[in-house]
Amino acid sequence: MRRIYEPPEPDDGLRVLVDRLWPRGLARDEAHVDQWPKGLTPSTELRKWYHGGGTYEEFRRRYEAELDATEAAGLLDGLRETARKGPVTLLTASKTPEESHARVLADLLKG
């Protein structure tokens, strides 16, 4: 897991953007993104709730519930399978990746 604004590293493996919106000020050819599964991202409503003052613990619980939905569950299973075969780097523009949806996804991929 890393911020998308950081330069790619040789050991990144598959680079997956896990944000619903394209990061501001970043050209697509500079991002080196291999996949952008928007169906894995938190809903707009959940994002707004969290950034409006929600707690990380409750955000995590609600986001994990969203990931149980059919489309997201299939995408998550596919990403898990890919991660079993080699390195996957989750990319986010979040200023605090450790308290973001990227952390939730990273933990779910490990577990």
pLDDT tens, N- to C-terminus, the chain (111 residues): 999 999 999 999 999 999 999 999 999 989 999 999 999 999 999 999 999 999 999 999 999 999 998 789 999 999 999 999 999 999 999 999 999 999 999 999 987
In a domain, 110, yes or no: no
The total domain count for the chain is: 1
Range of the domain at 77: 2-100
The answer to whether 83 and 109 are in contact (CB under 8 A) is: yes
Going from the C-alpha of 11 to that of each of 33, 87, 91, the distances in angstroms are 14, 7, 14
In a domain, 105, yes or no: no
